[in-house]
Amino acid sequence: MPASPQSAASPPEHVKKSVKARSLNKPHIQELFERLKNDRPEPRTELNYSTPFELLIAVILSAQATDVSVNKATEKLYAVANTPAQIAALGVEGFKPFIRTIGLFNTKAENIIATCQALLNKHQGEVPAEREALQALAGVGRKTANVVLNTAFGHAVMAVDTHIFRVSNRTGLALGKTVDAVEQQLMKRVPAAFLQDAHHWLILHGRYTCKARKPECERCILNDLCKKNGVDA
């Protein structure tokens, strides 16, 4: 017998209770972000940049690559070319040597040259501050757009990468099987006062403490709040 619209849209009661049991409550979420703020009052991306354009290029390069490797490449690149016109002038083959040490460099080179040309042709050489326009650029998906909107333009948005996805699910801050689901939950659950910096706090916590294979729970400032450790919230 087909499920009714109501039952299809609403999970069973035992599923609701299970999700609630694994989710942090509002007081614990507030405490979580207060601790992260006290630990890092002014969190910043670890990608080196001085303009929105440099950040955009660095974020495109950072897909499946470390910030350290990207910074090494962009240090040499930006000394030679750090505007859409200058990088577009290099062409794909002229650009590749600067990023050859970074994964997927062939595809990234093609995307970045196409993005530079689009910025010149459609945006007067400026990086747009609108999601739709950013995501229309080659190599720019929702996560990359969110990073640029948040970091370069101060928008209170969440760019969910593997670190944020892991930390959110482990702690019970935001549960979801996909990055989009976790992003939606974070936008609902992160207190407004912390939303601007939440992206960087969660990334840095995941990168240096709540690691994928060996989380350092014994020194974690969120240990007693974390659902992974059985906190009763």
- Domains of the chain, CATH where assigned: 25-44+157-229 (1.10.1670.10), 52-151 (1.10.340.30)
Catalytic member of 20, 72, 122, 143: 143
What average pLDDT does the structure give for the chain? 91
pLDDT digits (tens, 9 = 90+) for 159-187: 999 999 999 999 999 999 999 999 999 99
pLDDT at 228 (0 to 100): 84
Establish whether 143 is a catalytic residue.
yes
Statement: residue 143 has pLDDT above 60: yes
CA distance 71 to 49: 9
pLDDT at 10 (0 to 100): 44
Q: What is the 3-state secondary structure (H, E, C) of 175-213?
A: CCCCHHHHHHHHHHHCCHHHHHHHHHHHHHHHHHCCCCC
Dihedral of alpha carbons 139, 141, 146, 147, sign: negative
Note the residue count of the chain. 233
Catalytic member of 161, 188, 214, 227: 161
Higher pLDDT, 1 or 51: 51
CA 36 to chain centroid: 17
pLDDT at 7 (0 to 100): 34
* % of the chain beyond a pLDDT of 70: 89
CA distance 84 to 17: 52
CB 165 within 8 A of CB 152: no
In the chain, the N- to C-terminal Cα span, in Å, equals 38
CA distance 58 to 22: 36
